[in-house]
Amino acid sequence: MKHIKEIWALSLLQALGAGIVVWLWSLVMINGEHWFNGTPPSALSFVTVPLIFIVTATLSAGAVLGYPLYLAFHQKNWPKAVALLGLTIVWLILISTVLVFTAIR
């Protein structure tokens, strides 16, 4: 029973971590026009935006896949790794659905 609670808590933390990283990226994309404004666009914007995207992709993938990959390959605990990854994806779907429907209203 302890393992089930541990997996649920870890999956929720992983989903929240990935969600926060993606939310911060969306703030950059929404406000990027104001932050990187210039005519013609500056070289800084051509370098900064892709770098921020790369960091965001790495952090979000690490938040979702990091510990399950550790469990699967280092500890050889495939059932726990698959359960953790699956529950994290379920949490991400639930959080996204709630956010989308609250934004629509």
In which domain, by residue range, is 22 found? 15-29+43-104
| Cα angle for residues 68, 95, 99 (degrees, 5° grid) | 150
Residue-level pLDDT at 8: 93
Number of domains in the chain: 1
Q: Are 10 and 67 in contact (CB under 8 A)?
A: yes
Residue 24 lies in a domain: yes
Residue 78 lies in a domain: yes
List, for residues 3-58, the tens digit of each pLDDT value: 788 899 999 999 999 999 998 888 888 887 777 676 666 777 778 878 888 999 99
What's the half-sphere exposure (Cβ side, CA atoms, 13 Å) at 74?
Answer: 6
41: left (phi over 0), alpha (psi -120 to 50) or beta: beta
DSSP 8-state code for residue 32: H
Q: What's the whole-number mean pLDDT along residues 61-85?
A: 94
Q: Is the pLDDT of residue 61 over 60?
A: yes
Cα–Cα distance, 101 to 73 (Å, whole number) = 38
Residue-level pLDDT at 105: 73
Residue 2 lies in a domain: no
Residue-level pLDDT at 32: 77
Residue-level pLDDT at 9: 93
Q: What's the whole-number mean pLDDT along residues 70-85?
A: 95
Secondary structure class of 18 (helix, strand, coil): helix
Residue 36 lies in a domain: no
